[in-house]
């Protein structure tokens, strides 16, 4: 069964607003906010593929799952 996404955490101190996570999210879950940092718009659509986290050059975004401490 697919793991359920609990939350997506953006470390605004580390995010440099490159937009890679926004552009390549297959479900358009993310956007850049007014301060040019990644932000979540629609958590329900997230399929937990973790591509945002894996492609972030700055270790600034993390997808957390329910029932599972694995990050």
Partner 1 sequence: MPVKDYIRKRFFPHIWCPGCGHGIVLGGMLGAIEELGLKKKDVVMVSGIGCSSRIVGYVDFHTLHTLHGRALAFATGVKFSRPELNVIVPMGDGDATAIGGNHFIHACRRNINMTAIVMNNRIYGMTGGQFSPLSGPGIYATTAPYSSIDYDFDIVELARGSGATFVARTTVYHVNEVKDYIKKAIQHKGFSVVEILSQCPTYFGRKNKLKDVNEMLEYFKNNTTPVGSQAKKDNPNLIERGIFVQIQKEEYCDKYLNVIEAASKEVKG
d(CA 26, CA 6): 18
Does residue 31 bind ligand SF4 (CB under 6 A)?
no
64 binds, options partner 1, ligand SF4, none, Cβ within 5 to 8 A by partner type: none
8 close to 64: Cβ distance less than 8 angstroms: yes
Query: Would you state the structure tokens that stand for residue 18, as one six-digit string?
Result: 């490159």
Supply the minimum distance, in Å, between the C-beta of residue 33 and partner 1. 15
21 binds, options ligand SF4, partner 1, none, Cβ within 5 to 8 A by partner type: ligand SF4
Q: Please identify which residue in the block is written with the tokens 């440099």.
A: 16
Does residue 51 bind ligand SF4 (CB under 6 A)?
yes
Does residue 35 bind partner 1 (CB under 8 A)?
no
Supply the minimum distance, in Å, between the C-beta of residue 11 and partner 1. 9
d(CA 32, CA 13): 14
Query: Would you state the structure tokens that stand for residue 43, as one six-digit string?
Result: 């958590």
């Amino acid at each position: 069964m697919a793991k359920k996404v609990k939350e997506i955490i953006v470390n605004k101190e580390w995010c440099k607003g490159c937009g890679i996570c926004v552009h390549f999210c297959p479900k358009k879950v993310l956007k850049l906010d007014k301060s040019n940092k990644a932000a979540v718009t629609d958590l329900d659509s997230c399929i937990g593929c973790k591509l945002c986290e894996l492609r972030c050059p700055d270790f600034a975004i993390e997808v957390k799952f329910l029932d599972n401490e694995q990050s």
